[in-house]
Structure 1
Amino acid sequence: MVALRDLHGIGYLHRDIKPQNYAIGLGPKESTIYMLDFGIARKFTEADNKTVKVPRIKVHFLGTLRFASRACHKQQEQGCKDDLECWLYMCFDLFDDDKGLPWKRCQRQEVLKMKEQFFRLEHPSCYRIVPEDFKRLVQYIGGLKYADEPDYLYLRNSLGAISKEARVDFSKPLDWAGITTRKKKEKEKEESDETDSDVKQEETGSGDKEAYDKKSRMKSRRSRRSRER
């Protein structure tokens, strides 16, 4: 949410918000979540970064079907509201990757219809795991217009209230805390073990060769002595 607010603050839209375009930092940055892939980002404001551009009459579909906004489906110009709509779909999918987005396994022509129903709160199955209080966010984001500037403070406060209601303790380590560091150490240990094993094999191979050469020389000497006799 903060990354989107900052991106919109400099006059740009992402237009492809989805889980695959976020990544967790490494080491001391593991508590930071990074937004990635600005390949289809677009400037939505004029040079003054304040005036919203006049929307184009028709815009070709860009983005990912599952997470694309309704305006994208309708080939309409996208605004800040559309990034937030995609963000909302992403949240539901992360909460519940089975029932969070009811159109997940539907044909393309059915997806827009189901997204419209989603904003009319006609899919109660979406809230099987997702907190019911998310309905406030759905209604707020669903009511935004193309040129509207979203109230990011309201959205953040709403998320804070939802987290508090769910008794989320932000003072505790995140679920993934330490995983990247631990995996790095495990990989380094595996590589170290493999190196040690290779060295031992080389040493063993060298010793075997020396023993073989010594045995061959002794056999050759006995053979010469036998011929001399």
Structure 2
Amino acid sequence: MALGCNGTRYERFIHLFDFGLAREYIVLDKDGRTKMRRPRARAHFRGTIRYCSPNAQERGEQGRPDDLWCLLYMMAELRGPLPWTRVRDRSKVLRMKREVEMDKLLENCPVELLAFAEHLTTLNYYIRPDYSFLYHLLEQVLNAGNIK
């Protein structure tokens, strides 16, 4: 994870690394208009088990919410190990992700990350995340920590 450089047009960007094999989800139709690519019924796994969303781990088509779950897990890990960090069994990791209580996962994190996680639970492949809301939550975390 990296933040954009101050003083540039990228300063509000959060860059996520470890995309594995990325795939476009916005494509052009036959008339040249943009549209969302229809999700495949089953997709190849792309990513790292530790950070991927449960949807990605179950071989669902990845979209915007999956990237945000990855970001959330990385931010949580900055404050301590994820509950499944040392677990090697993929099915057990998936079960842990599905069953973990967000307040427990984020207990060492700023409270704003709980609101971030709650927003993610309302999303699916087609629903656009409220990036403004999520950005302001992260901005509150930075301001509270006097981080620039």
User: TM-score range, shorter-chain basis?
Assistant: 0.7 to 0.9
Hey, which of these two has a bigger chunk of helix by percent? 1
Task: Tell me what 2:121 maps to.
Answer: 142
The structure 1 residue matched to 2:49, chosen from 51, 58, 65, is: 65
Q: Is the 1:131–1:162 Cα contact (8 Å) retained in structure 2? A: yes
Normalising to structure 2: TM-score of the pair? 0.78
Look at both structures and tell me which one has the larger radius of gyration over its CA atoms.
1
Q: CA deviation at 1:161?
A: 2.4
Task: Tell me what 1:40 maps to.
Answer: 21
Counterpart check, 1:155 vs 2:137: no
CA distance in 1 between partners of 2:135 and 2:52 (Å): 22
Normalising to structure 1: TM-score of the pair? 0.53
SS at match of 1:131: coil
Q: CA deviation at 1:153?
A: 0.6
Q: Structure 1 vs Structure 2: percent identity of aligned residues?
A: 30
SS at match of 1:82: helix
Question: Tell me, which stretches of 5 or more residues in structure 2 are unaligned?
Answer: none
Q: Is the 1:61–1:72 Cα contact (8 Å) retained in structure 2? A: yes
User: Could you report, residue by residue, the CA deviation over 1:74-106 in whole angstroms, capped at 9, with x for unpaired residues?
Assistant: 11111111111111111111222x3xx111112
CA distance in 2 between partners of 1:161 and 1:94 (Å): 17
AA aligned opposite 1:72: A
Q: Is the 2:18–2:48 Cα contact (8 Å) retained in structure 1? A: no
Q: CA deviation at 1:128?
A: 3.8
AA aligned opposite 1:45: I
The structure 1 residue matched to 2:91, chosen from 84, 103, 109, is: 109
User: Could you report, residue by residue, the CA deviation over 1:30-86 in whole angstroms, capped at 9, with x for unpaired residues?
Assistant: xx7755566511111121574111111111211101001111111111111111111
Q: CA RMSD in A?
A: 2.8
Question: Tell me, which stretches of 5 or more residues in structure 1 are unaligned?
Answer: 1-18, 172-229
* Alignment coverage as a number of residue pairs: 139
Q: Is the 1:23–1:36 Cα contact (8 Å) retained in structure 2? A: no
Classify 1:66/1:161 alpha carbon distance in 2 versus 1 (closer, same or farther; 3 Å).
same
Q: Is the 1:44–1:52 Cα contact (8 Å) retained in structure 2? A: yes
Q: Is the 2:72–2:113 Cα contact (8 Å) retained in structure 1? A: no
